[in-house]
């Protein structure tokens, strides 16, 4: 059983919680490989998706995950809601909670809004991304992807590259990877780092070339143009010079190293067009599509562990129709 009923950030999870999520994700990966990809574990439960910010991968992943578990789903659209009539976000959540919702999945553009909602309601919540703060389920699916490629997390060398200051994925991944005893290096320019980079407690280098030959996991961050109130970097060409992954750099990585990206990729910025168009030709080392696939299993595990009676793990999962 998880030690918490809400997934607000990575810090709320213990190592035992994380291992339990990984074990359940493995079970649900097996379920998803079958011809019949559903289990009736959450029949009668209702999961609410509240996305106040655009999303394709995360929103659809959560919706499919809930349906694969047998739950009913409700999708909230902020543009078509009473928020446009002046209703507060708390009143909106309470109204939907009155419809006997069992779990809310919430994404919002404001950092900290998940904790605020949690302080005003008692419905279990999963943070699907809040501003620049956290994106815990992305970090967990990233960890599960790494787990499929390495026998142990301890001392794995991970390089997280790019727009650190605007990235909630970076904050969640750094916290989770360090918690699991990985060696995390940040690859970024001063203008793409927070004012106090020492907060992360990680080594910082200024070019991907400084780490590419020694890293086990090369994690390319998306340039967060939608969160940039100012221009953080002088030009795409200058960014390419220090931080982009092209074919020449890809050929320099270690034999068993893997490449990850949270998506969607800004082609020609984080990763070159040539690499993106030929991902299948790099011996399965680029895990972007696998991350999306793994997101479904990890989110099934989280929803199940929060809502299933007992929530004690994979041995309690019924697989009959």
Q: What is the pLDDT of residue 141?
A: 98
CATH number at residue 86: 3.40.50.1370
pLDDT category at 308 given cuts 50, 70, 90 is: confident
Domain membership of residue 141 (yes or no) is no
Q: Is there a single domain that holds both residue 69 and residue 154?
A: no
Whether 108 and 131 have beta carbons less than 8 Å apart is answered as yes
Answer with the residue of higher pLDDT: 9 or 319: 9
Q: Which two tokens stand for residue 68?
A: 């694969």
Q: Which two tokens stand for residue 153?
A: 């997390």
**Beta bridge partners of residue 51, listed in sequence order:** 77, 107
Q: Which of 87-91, 145-149, 195-199 has the highest mean pLDDT?
A: 145-149
Q: Which two tokens stand for residue 9?
A: 């950030």
Q: Is there a single domain that holds both residue 166 and residue 272?
A: yes
Structure confidence by residue, pLDDT tens digits, 52-61: 888 889 999 9
CA distances from 192 to 162, 208, 239 (A): 7, 14, 11
- Angle between helix axes 168-179 and 136-147 (nearest 10 degrees) is 50
pLDDT category at 232 given cuts 50, 70, 90 is: low
CA distances from 64 to 6, 69, 298 (A): 20, 9, 12
Question: Is pLDDT at 314 greater than 50 in this prediction?
Answer: no
Residue 224: CB partners within 8 Å, gap ≥ 6? 163, 166, 167
Domain membership of residue 224 (yes or no) is yes
Q: Which two tokens stand for residue 117?
A: 């909602």
Residue 130 CA to residue 233 CA, distance in Å, equals: 24
pLDDT category at 90 given cuts 50, 70, 90 is: confident
Name the one residue in this structure whose structure tokens are 């390319």. Answer: 220
Predicted structure pTM score? 0.92
**Beta bridge partners of residue 220, listed in sequence order:** 161
Domain membership of residue 321 (yes or no) is no
Q: Is there a single domain that holds both residue 203 and residue 105?
A: no
Domain membership of residue 144 (yes or no) is no
Burial of 12 (0-12, 13-18, 19+ CB in 10 A): middle
Portion of the chain with pLDDT greater than 70, in percent? 91
Q: What is the pLDDT of residue 99?
A: 83
Its domain, for residue 256, covers 150-286
Residue 249 CA to residue 208 CA, distance in Å, equals: 9
How many domains are there within the chain? 2
Q: Is there a single domain that holds both residue 161 and residue 280?
A: yes
Ramachandran angles phi, psi of 164, nearest 5°: -70, -45
Structure confidence by residue, pLDDT tens digits, 9-52: 999 999 999 999 999 999 999 999 999 999 999 999 999 999 98
pLDDT category at 231 given cuts 50, 70, 90 is: low
Q: Is there a single domain that holds both residue 158 and residue 265?
A: yes
Domain membership of residue 216 (yes or no) is yes
Question: Is pLDDT at 312 greater than 50 in this prediction?
Answer: no
Identify each DSSP E strand in the chain by its residue range. Answer: 46-51, 72-77, 103-108, 125-130, 157-161, 183-187, 203-205, 217-220, 258-260
Q: Is there a single domain that holds both residue 16 and residue 62?
A: yes
Dihedral sign from CA coordinates of 290, 296, 299, 305: negative
Name the one residue in this structure whose structure tokens are 């339990």. Answer: 20
Q: Is there a single domain that holds both residue 270 and residue 161?
A: yes
Q: Is there a single domain that holds both residue 232 and residue 301?
A: no
Domain membership of residue 143 (yes or no) is no
Residue 130 CA to residue 251 CA, distance in Å, equals: 36
Residue 152 per-residue DSSP state:
-
Q: Which two tokens stand for residue 177?
A: 């990877």
Of 248, 156, 173, 170, give the one whose Cα is nearest residue 208: 248
Q: Is there a single domain that holds both residue 197 and residue 117?
A: no
Question: Is pLDDT at 209 greater than 60 in this prediction?
Answer: yes
Whether 302 and 21 have beta carbons less than 8 Å apart is answered as yes
Structure confidence by residue, pLDDT tens digits, 160-170: 999 999 999 99
Residue 65 CA to residue 73 CA, distance in Å, equals: 10
pLDDT category at 107 given cuts 50, 70, 90 is: very high
Residue 83 per-residue DSSP state:
G
Q: Is there a single domain that holds both residue 52 and residue 25?
A: yes
Residue 270 per-residue DSSP state:
T
CA distances from 26 to 29, 31, 144, 201, 256 (A): 5, 9, 8, 31, 22
Q: Is there a single domain that holds both residue 155 and residue 119?
A: no
Q: Is there a single domain that holds both residue 19 and residue 82?
A: yes
Domain membership of residue 3 (yes or no) is no
Domain membership of residue 45 (yes or no) is yes
Structure confidence by residue, pLDDT tens digits, 243-298: 999 999 999 999 899 999 999 999 999 999 999 999 988 889 999 999 999 999 99
């Amino acid at each position: 059983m998880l030690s918490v009923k809400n997934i607000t950030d990575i810090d709320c999870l213990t190592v035992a919680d994380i291992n339990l999520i990984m074990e359940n994700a493995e079970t649900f990966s097996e379920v998803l490989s079958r011809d019949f990809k559903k289990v009736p574990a959450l029949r009668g439960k209702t999961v609410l998706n509240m996305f106040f910010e655009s999303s394709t991968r995360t929103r659809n992943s959560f919706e499919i995950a809930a349906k694969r578990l047998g739950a009913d789903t409700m999708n909230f659209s902020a543009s078509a809601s009473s928020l446009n009539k002046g209703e507060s976000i708390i009143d909106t959540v309470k109204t939907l909670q009155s419809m006997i919702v069992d779990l809310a999945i919430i994404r919002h553009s404001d950092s900290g809004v998940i904790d605020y909602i949690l302080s005003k309601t008692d419905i279990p919540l999963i943070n699907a991304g809040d501003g620049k703060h956290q994106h815990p389920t992305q970090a967990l699916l990233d960890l599960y992807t790494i787990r499929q490629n390495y026998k142990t997390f301890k001392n794995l060398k991970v390089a997280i590259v790019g727009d650190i200051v605007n990235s909630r994925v970076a904050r969640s991944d750094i916290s989770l990877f360090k918690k699991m005893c990985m060696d995390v290096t940040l690859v970024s320019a001063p203008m793409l780092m927070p004012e106090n980079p020492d907060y992360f407690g990680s080594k910082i280098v200024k070019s991907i070339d400084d780490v590419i030959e020694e890293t086990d996991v090369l994690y390319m961050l998306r340039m967060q143009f939608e969160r940039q109130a100012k221009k953080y970097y002088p030009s795409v060409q200058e960014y390419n010079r220090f931080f982009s992954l092209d074919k020449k750099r890809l050929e320099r990585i270690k034999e068993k190293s893997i490449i990850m990206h949270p998506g969607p990729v800004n082609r020609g910025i984080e990763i070159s067009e040539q690499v993106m168009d030929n991902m299948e030709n790099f011996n399965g080392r680029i895990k972007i599509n696998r991350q999306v696939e793994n997101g479904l299993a990890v989110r099934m595990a989280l929803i199940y562990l929060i809502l299933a009676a007992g929530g004690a793990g994979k041995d309690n999962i019924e697989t009959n129709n």
